[in-house]
Chain A
Amino acid sequence: MTKASDLASSYDLVVIGGGPAGLAAAALAARAGLSTVLFDENPGVGGQIYRAITSSPVKDRAILGVDFWVGAELAAEAKASGALIVNGATVWSLDPTRLVGVSIAGQARLIQASRVIIATGALERPFPIPGWTLPGVMSAGGAQTALKAQGLVPSGRTVMAGGGPLLWLLAAQILRAGGKLDAILDTTPRTNWLRAFAHLPDFVLSPYFSKGLKLLREVRAKVRVIRVDRLEAVGDDKLREVVYGAAGGERRMPADLLLLHQGIVPNVNLAIAAGVTHAWNERQLSFEPVLDENFNSSVHGIAVAGDGAGIAGGTAAAERGRIAAVAAVRALRPEASMPDTQAIRQRLQREEMGRVFLDWLNRPADSFRRPKGDTIVCRCEEVTAGQVRYTANMGCEGPNQMKAFLRCGMGPCQGRLCGLTVTELIAAERRTTPAEVGYFRLRPPVKPITLAELASLPIAETERKAVER
């Protein structure tokens, strides 16, 4: 186990995040001779898509599927590359001078990087329905993590709800693992086809097409799928039943576990805190960093690769990581021999095919992104949709002023589970666009650290003399 005290004070390249983008970037850069360190806060590498790739107790490879196990190669490549890979390492700060604040087992360090590749990936889009804070309601991604890393399978009465590729993949994985699903409540509006249709030819040619159809058939053969336009989790101290609206009527279904998912969005917290310029993506309904063709951001020396650069999937993430790493090597060691970037770009283009279709087809309904009334928006500070709407109507212009009124976005999750909802609600109430409203201003530390961790930072003699008399 690498300790904070084992780290050098500077590296050519610091990669943040150990998913496909981070692993591929670190492997390429280290092999080209850059001193490279990869920090990841999880117990093992793989990110979310290849979670627990080196340690999963799920040995029957059919359960998680071949698309999971390809991650093993990426992890092995990174390990063999000479890059220093540190798990259990939380990056809590990154500034425009590329000073990286990291904490490992309660010890903090500030590391100077010549280049930084942010590969913090994606998180699930907020799914604010009434009752989504009840114990017994989890994100589908959470259940998938527990399956991959600990071999935990839902038992008892389980309902999945939402839409998007990950929901169907998890359903198939749960079924293959011998789990049972009482129902899948599909919240995707049928009218999405109107916009998706034009992009169908591109999708048919993409690798997603046959995989997607197979997955849908596999799940639909075993589970009842109900198209719904309203959804509520009901219970006192925990989930008791799921209430849904379908075909005009309201139905109730007893449940012990409700798994929610309506797509994934870039995890922007670190990049925004580092000063990277972001812009609204109307098709993906999320903020993403503004990047050049090498994934360089608006801040010199900081690149953003992987799904953090806009959602494109795990295999695309690895190619993006490689392109960002090549740019880092070219900047620092122009003499190093590099793989053919044209070939990488072609592979990336192929991986990105079909994405536009998937985005339009799985676009979450307005009502599931912009809740009303007593539905909690900010889980940490328990702020409701009604409060956010009312405050916007009172004249509050943006998410940052909203903090002062309601504290929404000021809890420990720092807006990760409410940011997009707050932006969209304010935009709707003020009859403007999310691009105009903007996002929470984020500042370091982007993950909570204790004062004891800060106090563990090494202090140079000159720094001590500057404050001691």
Chain B
Amino acid sequence: MFKRLVDAGVAVAITVDGKRVAARVGDTVATAMIAAGIDHCRTTPVTGAPRAPYCLMGVCFECLVTVDGVGSRQGCLVPVSEGMAVETQTGKREAGR
């Protein structure tokens, strides 16, 4: 869906569901996932439909992901950092996360 216009940024290695994703300094979790071609970041609690980042400015809450064990973080507001572990969310939130 998207490609990098200039790919000169410093590489930051994160994982999404255990798989390595090559992010860049300046990426947020949501844009790193978009750039890596990951087509959805969660499924909804109501019908289980897949959802992907929509607004990228912190208002739509579609990009909710688990970041380093903390659930329902807004991926578009969290800058990536080396070694960050991101997990996509499935359906209803699990208790304690």
Contacts and interface: CB of A to CB of B under 8 A. Distances in A.
B9 to A, nearest CB: 6
Nearest to B24: A150
Given A57-B8, A154-B1, A382 B53 contact: no
B6 A58 contact: yes
Contacts of B62: 379
Contacts of A267: 59
A139 interface: yes
A335 interface: no
A145 B57 contact: yes
B94 to A, nearest CB: 15
A361 interface: no
A417 B59 contact: yes
Interface stretch (A129-137, A287-295, A340-348): A129-137
Interface in A169-196: 177-178
Nearest to A381: B46
Range of interface residues on B (Cβ < 8 Å): 35 or more
Interface residues of A, number: 53
Contacts of A90: 77
Nearest to A152: B2
Contact of B2 (A52, A153, A379, A450): A153
Contacts of B24: 57, 150
B9 A57 contact: yes
Contact of A416 (B3, B60, B77): B60
Nearest to A158: B1
Contacts of B59: 123, 267, 413, 416-417
A57 B5 contact: yes
Interface of A: 41-43, 48, 51-52, 55, 57-59, 63, 88, 90, 123-124, 133, 135-139, 141-143, 145-147, 149-156, 177-178, 237-238, 256-257, 267, 379-382, 411-413, 416-417, 448, 450
The 7 closest A-B pairs by CB, nearest first: A135-B52, A142-B56, A412-B61, A151-B5, A152-B2, A155-B3, A145-B56
